[in-house]
Amino acid sequence: MVRFTPRMSTPHLPLAGLQAQPPWQHETPVALRPHVLRLTAPNPGLMTGPGTNSYLVGSSATGWLVLDPGPLERAHIERLWQAAGGDIRLIVCTHSHADHAPAARPLQTLCAERSGRQPPVLGLPSAPTANAVSQFSPDRVLADGETLALHDDAGRVQHSLQVIHTPGHAANHLCLLLADEPGAGLLFSGDHILNGSTTVINPPDGNMTAYLDALDALDAACVRLGLGYILPAHGHVMDAARTVIAKLKAHRLARETKVRAAMQAQPQGTLDDWVVLAYDDVPVSLWPLAKRSLQAHVERLLALQGRTP
């Protein structure tokens, strides 16, 4: 992400029955709905904002699905176990970056040791383009469009989430869609959509065209499933999901226009030359991060011209 600054759509979401959101803390889960909890890992920083949001979906009747267990923080892993009342049925990682997936196996082991139940770790394996600290191999590979369900003791489905593959930020990135209230469903967006920042697209594992295409796919899912709210991996809940997606895509394309102009102004230039022009509205201290997404824009523009990056 280029920078992390506060940008909340609303501090609370009364239409969906979501509670007002308190200041950030890392000790206690926040009930966004009776069956949706947010527990923020204690890893705040430039790249993570207030910290990585782990989400729990479920109830005492069904057990819980943990989405993005987070970094290898033992206290956070323990809090996830406690928040679920010791009944975790599924562990899902939106992608394999170091602030999202490393806690998956330790949490799985903790469940097995304390309850005798070993919940599977689900997601998409890291691609060959992933860096060394983002290697990930799930117990089961999730398919685009499949549904994950939590059942009560009678076998009835109480909560279900649809999986959608959203490459761009990472080749193995996915989002989960919870359409439990018509017009007010939830999009768990991982790092694809953040509150307070635009996510970094870092080639070769990141790809700008794939990212923009995935935004379109998420917008279509919002229409199809009645998704009204975005629950990001970093930052507060955002309402008006389609508006957020449209503004984010417009921002990316506006940045791409500046990148194109920079390349035309200095056709023999380098990333160091172009970042000065294309990211003149970003603090110089953040240009090293900005150059990652700049490279992704450059590769996309060259591909559109039929040229090899």
pTM of the model: 0.91
Tokens 């957020």, residue located: 244
The domains spanning 14-239 and 241-309 adopt the same CATH topology: no
Could you report the per-residue pLDDT of 48-93, keeping only the tens digit for each? 889 999 999 999 999 999 999 999 999 999 999 999 999 999 999 9
DSSP per residue over 269-294, as a string?
A: --HHHHHHHHTTTS-GGGHHHHHHHH
> Within a 10 A sphere around the Cβ of 305, how many other Cβ atoms?
8
Q: What are 157's strand-pairing partners?
A: 151
Coil, strand, or helix at residue 301? helix
Rounded to whole angstroms, the Cα distance separating 176 from 185 reads 11
Rounded to whole angstroms, the Cα distance separating 178 from 174 reads 14
Coil, strand, or helix at residue 55? strand
Q: Going along the chain, which residue ranges are E strands?
A: 30-33, 36-40, 53-59, 63-67, 88-92, 121-123, 140-141, 147-151, 157-165, 174-178, 185-190, 227-232, 238-239
Q: Give the strand pairing for 53-59 and 36-40.
A: antiparallel
Residue positions counted in the chain: 309
Q: Give the right CATH number for 14-239 from 3.40.50.720, 1.10.3720.10, 3.40.30.10, 3.60.15.10.
A: 3.60.15.10
Which portions of the chain are predicted below pLDDT 50? 1-20
Predicted pLDDT of residue 47: 85
| Architecture of domain 241-309 in this structure | Orthogonal Bundle (1.10)
Enumerate the domain spans of the chain: 14-239, 241-309
- Structural contact between residues 55 and 46, judged by C-beta atoms closer than 8 angstroms: no
Coil, strand, or helix at residue 222? helix
Could you report the per-residue pLDDT of 2-55, keeping only the tens digit for each? 333 333 333 333 333 444 455 689 999 999 999 999 999 999 988 888 999 999
